[in-house]
Amino acid sequence: MCDVLVLDDEPLIRELLVEVLVEDGFAVRAAATVRAAQQVLRDDTVRLLVADKNLRAGGDGHVLAREAMRLLPGLLVIYISGRWSMLRDLGVTPRERALPKPFTATKLAKLAHELIG
């Protein structure tokens, strides 16, 4: 079982997010692409997806998350993006949150704990 799956195409950001969450006690897996994230979601029990909204390779973390939430009714999601305008209009549900970059490690960990419980 995996507490958190981090999807971000920027290697340094992805590694930092993983490090922050691991240090806060979460079991974490990481993916750089939508395809890799889909594989993790198929192979592992993921409680929380931290997904970059806009991926350079043409992927969209929001689209992936909405598809995954239909298949995995307990999945929680935190969307991250450097473009607040992309997050502001997502229309998130109670299972989702939006967190604009830059954010602090403390803010991410706190939000993850709030969602997971």
Could you tell me if residue 99 is inside a domain?
no
Could you tell me if residue 36 is inside a domain?
yes
Residues sharing a CB contact under 8 Å with residue 23, sequence separation 6 or more, in sequence order: none
pTM for this prediction: 0.92
> What backbone phi and psi angles, to 5 degrees, belong to 98?
-120, 135
pLDDT in tens, 17-63: 999 999 999 999 999 999 999 999 999 999 999 999 888 776 888 88
The pLDDT of residue 3 is 95
* Total count of domains within the chain: 1
The domain spanning residue 30 has which CATH number? Answer: 3.40.50.2300
pLDDT in tens, 1-21: 899 999 999 999 999 999 999
Quote the CA–CA distance of 43 and 40 in Å, as a whole number.
5
Residues sharing a CB contact under 8 Å with residue 47, sequence separation 6 or more, in sequence order: 1, 2, 3, 4, 74, 75, 76, 116
Which range of residues forms the domain containing residue 17? 2-89
Nearest Cα neighbor of 35 from 10, 15, 2, 7 is 7
